[in-house]
Structure 1
Amino acid sequence: MSSASHWHKSSYSGNQTNCVEVGRLTDGAAIRDTKNRNAGHLTTTRTQWTAFITALKTNRSENGP
């Protein structure tokens, strides 16, 4: 995968630094800790990221598959 770009955090976070940021990849997303951006990041494929967001939106993250 390529380098992540366009890092952003949720607008709900306000000025908080205890958050995660999401960066755009050519075919997926990258996730990093706002408190320690130099520690690196996790990457996902587009399919994985889409499944994750869908699970959050449908509340499957709390109730299982």
Structure 2
Amino acid sequence: MTVWRKSSYSGINEECVELADLGLARGVRDSKNPGVGHQTLRANAFQALLEGIKSA
């Protein structure tokens, strides 16, 4: 079973992205509409995305 989690910065009823550890990849989906699917990124690509966001 895949475990999805929201950022700790999100409030209880706030809409946010959710993340899941998929082994060698990470899943990203919209918390307000999780049934439409998710994006899958290789772990290194996800790390580069996070670093880019933090440096912006």
State how 1:5-20 maps to structure 2 within 5 Å: 5-20=2-17
Larger helix proportion of the pair: 1
TM-score (norm 1): 0.74
Please, which runs of 5 or more residues in structure 1 have no aligned partner?
A: 60-65
Higher Rg of the two aligned structures: 1
Q: How many residues are paired up?
A: 56
The answer to which of 10-19 and 26-35 deviates more is: 10-19
Match status 1:34 vs 2:31: yes
Mapped to 1, the partners of 2:28 and 2:43 lie a distance apart of 13
State the secondary structure of the residue aligned to 1:47. helix
Q: Which residue in the other structure is 1:57 paired with?
A: 54
Paired amino acid for 2:30: D
By how many angstroms is 1:20 displaced? 0.9
Q: What RMSD in Å do the two structures reach over aligned CA positions?
A: 1.5
Please, which runs of 5 or more residues in structure 2 have no aligned partner?
A: none
Q: After the TM superposition, which parts of structure 1 deviate over 2 Å for at least 4 consecutive aligned residues?
A: none
